[in-house]
Amino acid sequence: MMSVTTLDRSATADRAEPRGRRPRKTTPARIGVYAFLVISALFFLIPLWVMLMTSFKTMDEIRLGNIFRFPANPTWEPWAHAWSSACTGLECNGLSVGFWNSIQILIPSVIISIAVGAVTGYALSFWRVRGANLMFGLLLLGAFIPYQVFIYPLVRMFAATGLYNSLICVVIVHVIFGLPLMTLLFRNFYAGLPIELFKAARVDGGGFWQIFGYVILPMSTPIIIVATILQVTGIWNDFLFGLTFAGRDNLPMTVQLNNIVNSTQGERAYNVDMAATILTALVPLTVYFLSGRWFVRGIAAGAVKG
């Protein structure tokens, strides 16, 4: 009897003693962390939600309703209207015009700016050219100067060459103002490559363009992806250059969007406005959601090395 009781007791004691995983307690601190994150997430998401909801509502519902509420009778009407028949000033062909203009601006601008940036970054990081450091310094400083300082002389220069108010003009402007970031991006990336690689290629008799084409460029895929993401979103989101240099027939989507929303006469069609807004944001949002960590890499490129 006695021994049985003792055994029992020790078994109980054993069980009560800490063993294995610490029991999970939901601490107030833990709840606080999630509460903060969830509330913040709501703050960030609400505008997207409101945009979407508004874009599917009828104007009647908007006048009476709650901007957060789900549409009672969801309709595609505002989207169709925004895309094909909303008025941007005098013309009423919708945002589709701006979309195609933006595409036409985007493709050459992205390709040319990355190409120039890659070559410049390569020349600056592996080759010795007189005055290159001074040029690079000026280029970097240029990145911080407000665009308003350059705009008027640029307008005069383009006007003098007859390029003003054309696709070519706005593409050139994007290449010009994309150059500092693109050069920096590629130069930093190439500075991280082992110099021995370059030396080996030199010993093997490679020239400037051969080394670039056969050795450096094939290794540049990651940075080209980063550069593409940055430039696609950056150029798509541009407003100032499109407005100033593209000319009336080539206005990009952002400018047309602003015209649709802010120069309407009479009562504003908020549902159409929001549909148009989402449509304009769709390209960068898609790039963002598809690229995921690459987008962050683009932001962090260089920044982390600071």
Report the site for other proteins in 221-240 (rule: CB under 8 A): 233, 236-240
Applying CB under 8 A, the span of 76-84, 120-128, 159-167, 213-221 interacting with other proteins comes to 120-128
**248, 262, 265, 267: which one contacts other proteins (CB under 8 A)?**
262
Give me the least distance between CB of 270 and other proteins, in Å please. 6
| Of residues 47, 216, 31, 197, the one with CA closest to residue 120 | 216
Q: How far is CA 121 from the centre of its chain?
A: 22
Q: Cβ atoms within 10 A of the Cβ of 84, count?
A: 13
**88, 220, 231, 280: which one contacts other proteins (CB under 8 A)?**
280
Nearer to other proteins, 54 or 167 (CB): 54
Q: How far is CA 114 from the centre of its chain?
A: 15
Binding letters toward other proteins, positions 130-169, x by CB under 8 A: x-xx-x-xxxxxxxxxxxxxxxxxx-xx------------
Nearer to other proteins, 47 or 222 (CB): 47
Applying CB under 8 A, the span of 82-90, 103-111, 162-170, 286-294 interacting with other proteins comes to 286-294
Q: Is 90 in the site for other proteins (CB under 8 A)?
A: no
| Three-state secondary structure call for residue 88 | strand
How far apart are the C-alpha atoms of 199 and 177, rounded to whole Å? 32
- Which residues in the 185-224 window bind other proteins by CB under 8 A? 185, 187-188, 190-192, 195, 198, 207-209
Give me the least distance between CB of 84 and other proteins, in Å please. 20
> What secondary structure letter does DSSP report for 213?
I
Binding letters toward other proteins, positions 28-67, x by CB under 8 A: -----xx-xx--xx-xxxxxx-xx--x-------xx-xxx
How crowded is the C-beta side of 32, counted as CA atoms within 13 Å?
3
Nearer to other proteins, 80 or 139 (CB): 139
**88, 101, 120, 231: which one contacts other proteins (CB under 8 A)?**
120
- C-alpha separations of 5 from 1, 12, 16 in Å: 6, 11, 17
Size of residue set near other proteins by CB under 8 A: 115
Q: Is 6 in the site for other proteins (CB under 8 A)?
A: no
DSSP per-residue string spanning 121-150: HHHHHH---TTHHHHHHHHHHHTTS-THHH
> What secondary structure letter does DSSP report for 249?
G
- C-alpha separations of 298 from 190, 222, 270, 304 in Å: 15, 10, 34, 11
| Three-state secondary structure call for residue 265 | coil
